[in-house]
């Protein structure tokens, strides 16, 4: 493989590092498009462009943290599969009358429960102490 760099103030090592960083960024965009399903957005206002870029960056960081936590826990589940499983969870709040509300959570499967154990987020349906 031959890598040509046309920036005079970079050493060959810095050029290779830039190339590696570029492929890492491209891999991140691929994950955003395929595994996370973030569709392209067309903004023209600078504040909206920055906000969209920030949201994409945060989502990518969370995706990588999810992958690291799964790997550290010895789980063979990929972040993509984990998201597929977690998307199935639903929380319902039904207002029956003015003073009667029913709240429910879909049943958590064994595989979903293992994800909560591996990634260590608070389980849905439990009250947080504030």
What digits encode the pLDDT tens for the residues 40-81? 778 888 898 888 888 888 888 888 888 889 999 999 998 889
Task: Note the pLDDT tens digit of each residue in 71-107.
Answer: 999 999 988 899 889 889 988 889 888 889 888 888 8
Q: What's the total number of domains in the chain?
A: 1
Considering the domain boundaries, does residue 6 fall inside one?
A: no
57/48 Cα distance (integer angstroms): 14
Nearest to 36 by CA among 69, 59, 58, 57: 59
Considering the domain boundaries, does residue 1 fall inside one?
A: no
Considering the domain boundaries, does residue 68 fall inside one?
A: yes
Indicate the pTM of the whole model. Answer: 0.62
Q: What's the pLDDT score for residue 60?
A: 85
């Amino acid at each position: 493989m031959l890598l040509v760099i046309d920036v005079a103030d970079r050493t060959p090592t810095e050029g290779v590092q830039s190339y590696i960083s570029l492929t890492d960024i491209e891999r991140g965009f691929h994950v955003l498009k395929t595994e996370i399903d973030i569709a392209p957005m067309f903004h023209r206002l600078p504040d909206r462009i920055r906000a969209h870029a920030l949201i994409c960056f945060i989502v990518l960081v969370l995706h990588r943290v999810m992958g690291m936590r799964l790997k550290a826990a010895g789980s063979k589940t990929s972040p993509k599969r984990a998201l597929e499983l977690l998307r199935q969870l639903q929380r319902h709040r039904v207002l029956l009358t003015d003073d009667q509300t029913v709240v429910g959570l879909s049943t958590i499967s064994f595989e979903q429960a293992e994800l909560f154990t591996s990634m260590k987020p608070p389980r849905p349906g439990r009250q947080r102490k504030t």
